[in-house]
Amino acid sequence: MFRNIKIFFFLVCSVSVYAQVFPVAPFEKTGKSFNQDFWQQVDDIFNDPNFVGANWGVVIRSLETGEYLYKRNENKLFMPASCLKIFTTISALEILGKDYRFKTNVFLNGTLDGSILQGDVIVQGFGDPTISDRFYNGDLFYVFNSWADSLAKLGIDEINGNLIGDDNAFDDNGLAPGWAWDDESYWYSAPTGALSFSDNCVGISVRPSQNGLPAMISVSPESKYVTILNKVNTVEANIESDVNVFRERGTNIITVYGRIGENSEEKKVYATINNPTQFMMVVLKEVLQQKGIKVNGYAADIDEELINPDYNGMVKLLTYYSPSLSEIVKVINKNSQNFYAEQLLKTLGYEKEGFGSIENGIHVIKNFFGEIGINPEMMIMVDGSGLSRLNLITPKQMTDLLTYIHSKDNFKVFYESLPVAGVDGTLARRMRKTKAENNVRAKTGYISGVRSLCGYVYSADNEPLIFSVFVNNYIVPSALADNLQDLLCLRLANFTRK
């Protein structure tokens, strides 16, 4: 262990380099010789005694020569955690295309009587995850305000009917197999839906008041759809703040609890909601009324109405299109956004199988893998984000997929979606001031006892390399696993055949 630490600090002191984007072309054979000491040096990293009870799976391959520089348990099955998002995003880019955009239709099911719509407004969704503030400079209601403006242009200032959300493009199973019940309150377990708003979460801002008094709380969106119970106490300034959330299962009653220091800055936490479709319709109704459009009916999920709408007989008010898939995969990979990944998985099922379900999405991905030479029978995939502990893949499968996409037109989009070491995303604070900074582009993964890192790096000879690293079943702090994975990246960035 001490030897590894010395090597680590030596490499940390190396001068950083700026990496160019990998050429989008197949690798060619060269006459470069292989460094015989390299294998033993990498073995030394992963033989760290802190991980004697854990399992490492590693593959390192040269994109220039095609040779494997190192393999360890390459065909063993590992839980990949969020590195599974590589499977989802590459498949989506290749199957749907980088210019794919989600659509949402707004229909008027009624007649116009002066300025009054006698009938319902029906919103038909197809899985768009982007109706939020993420792409609109922090304006959470940008899309809804634009819909309200479209109604106003028709002279409508009153809707004598209901707002109905049609989410039948997807199933109603919001959570994936193997997701933990005690995670359901948290943003990273947000439920999926053909209609979704604000990542199917509410943001809760907590500010201190006076010592001994309840904290001050605000919610975004501020909506009657959720009930917030404030159990956060303001404590002395020298006590560390700790704020958490809990949503009662099957309800929208959210308890915010913990403590916040008297002089602390505002803390923001996020809680999931129940029934994304109804959440979206309720908030849409509130926005319309704030814009001066009276809604006499109620906001509802189409399942509650038990209707089968005939859209051919309705007036389509508008079709809203999301940002392109090339922008969406950046959110998924750089920020490791589970909700977006799950929406994308079901969208693959909808577009290719006619119905958005996890099962259909995985079927589409496995068919794609079979076509490109990755055996889909030798893996288990149960979600699109990697949050489930039931997912099992091999390091070699990951490396094969990263090799495949390197020669395709979508490589540049995928490559630019990956976190950059020391710069952004989930790698922003790792490998700084080393030769790996601004060089390594890789997806991270974490669930309890699992840490993964998969991506690309340039060697000291400017040779492009692929690496896939998984560790499962460790019980030491995750920072130690990060250190060993970072140490490998530093070794690769300093690797030379000369």
**pLDDT tens digits for 89-122?**
999 999 999 999 999 999 999 999 999 999 999 9
Q: Which of 82, 132, 388, 452 is catalytic?
A: 82
Confidence check: pLDDT of 15 > 80: no
Q: Is 54 helix (H, G, I), strand (E, B) or coil?
A: coil
State how far the Cα of 61 lies from the Cα of 134, in Å rounded to an integer: 36
Q: Is 472 helix (H, G, I), strand (E, B) or coil?
A: strand
State how far the Cα of 20 lies from the Cα of 266, in Å rounded to an integer: 39
| Mean pLDDT, range 241-265, rounded to an integer | 97
What pLDDT is attached to residue 498?
A: 80
Residue 282's pLDDT band, with cuts at 50, 70 and 90, is very high
What pLDDT is attached to residue 374?
A: 98
- Pick the residue with more confidence: 22 or 488? 488
What pLDDT is attached to residue 305?
A: 73
pLDDT digits (tens, 9 = 90+) for 179-190: 999 999 999 999
| Mean pLDDT, range 246-273, rounded to an integer | 97
Q: Which residue has the tokens 């492009």?
A: 464
Confidence check: pLDDT of 13 > 60: no
Confidence check: pLDDT of 21 > 50: no
| Mean pLDDT, range 136-148, rounded to an integer | 97
| Mean pLDDT, range 233-240, rounded to an integer | 96
State how far the Cα of 497 lies from the Cα of 35, in Å rounded to an integer: 6
For 190, 319, 324, 346, the CA distances from 417, given in Å and listed in that order, are 22, 27, 13, 20
Confidence check: pLDDT of 58 > 50: yes
State how far the Cα of 405 lies from the Cα of 441, in Å rounded to an integer: 14
| Mean pLDDT, range 266-274, rounded to an integer | 98
Residue 497's pLDDT band, with cuts at 50, 70 and 90, is confident
Beta strands in 208-324 (DSSP E): 216-220, 227-235, 242-247, 253-261, 267-272, 294-295, 299-301, 315-321
Q: Which of 85, 285, 366, 396 is catalytic?
A: 85
Confidence check: pLDDT of 280 > 60: yes
State how far the Cα of 384 lies from the Cα of 378, in Å rounded to an integer: 17
State how far the Cα of 471 lies from the Cα of 57, in Å rounded to an integer: 6
**N residues, the chain:** 498
- Pick the residue with more confidence: 258 or 14? 258
Confidence check: pLDDT of 36 > 80: no
Instruction: Determine whether 85 is an active site residue.
Output: yes
The candidate with the shortest Cα–Cα distance to 177, out of 166, 192, 167, is 192
Q: How far, rounded to the nearest angstrom, does the alpha carbon of residue 289 sit from its chain's CA centroid? A: 33
The answer to whether 296 and 161 have CB atoms below 8 angstroms apart is: yes
Instruction: Determine whether 62 is an active site residue.
Output: no
Percent of the chain scored above 90 by pLDDT? 91
State how far the Cα of 26 lies from the Cα of 356, in Å rounded to an integer: 35
What pLDDT is attached to residue 24?
A: 34
pLDDT digits (tens, 9 = 90+) for 355-398: 999 999 999 999 999 999 999 999 999 999 999 999 999 999 99
Q: Please state, rounded to an integer, the average pLDDT across all residues of the chain.
A: 93
Q: Which of 189, 241, 336, 452 is catalytic?
A: 336
State how far the Cα of 182 lies from the Cα of 278, in Å rounded to an integer: 23
Residues 6+ apart with CB under 8 A from 113: none
pLDDT digits (tens, 9 = 90+) for 444-455: 999 999 999 999
The answer to whether 177 and 382 have CB atoms below 8 angstroms apart is: yes
Confidence check: pLDDT of 79 > 50: yes
Backbone angles phi, psi at 272, to 5 degrees: -75, 165
| Mean pLDDT, range 221-246, rounded to an integer | 97
DSSP string of 150-183, one letter each residue: HHHHTT--EESS-EEEE-TTB-S--S-TT--GGG
Instruction: Determine whether 334 is an active site residue.
Output: no
3-state secondary structure 319-358: EEECCCHHHHHHHHHHCCCHHHHHHHHHHHHHHHHCCECH
Confidence check: pLDDT of 20 > 60: no
Domains and CATH numbers, the chain: 2-99+326-493 (3.40.710.10), 103-174+275-323 (3.50.80.20), 182-272 (no CATH)
What pLDDT is attached to residue 376?
A: 97
Residues 6+ apart with CB under 8 A from 249: 181, 184
The answer to whether 35 and 21 have CB atoms below 8 angstroms apart is: no
DSSP string of 222-249, one letter each residue: --TT-EEEEEEEEE-TTSPPEEEEEE-T
Residues 6+ apart with CB under 8 A from 36: none
pLDDT digits (tens, 9 = 90+) for 410-443: 999 999 999 999 999 999 999 999 999 999 999 9
Count of alpha carbons within 13 Å of 287, Cβ hemisphere only?
A: 23
Buried b (16+ CB within 10 A) or exposed e, 46-74: bebebbeebebbbbbbbbbbeeebbbbbb
What pLDDT is attached to residue 307?
A: 80
Count of alpha carbons within 13 Å of 198, Cβ hemisphere only?
A: 29
Q: Which residue has the tokens 């890789």?
A: 442
Q: How far, rounded to the nearest angstrom, does the alpha carbon of residue 13 sit from its chain's CA centroid? A: 33
For 45, 409, 482, the CA distances from 69, given in Å and listed in that order, are 15, 26, 21
What pLDDT is attached to residue 35?
A: 61
| Mean pLDDT, range 153-181, rounded to an integer | 97
Partner residues linked to 232 by β-bridges: 258
- Specify the pTM: 0.92
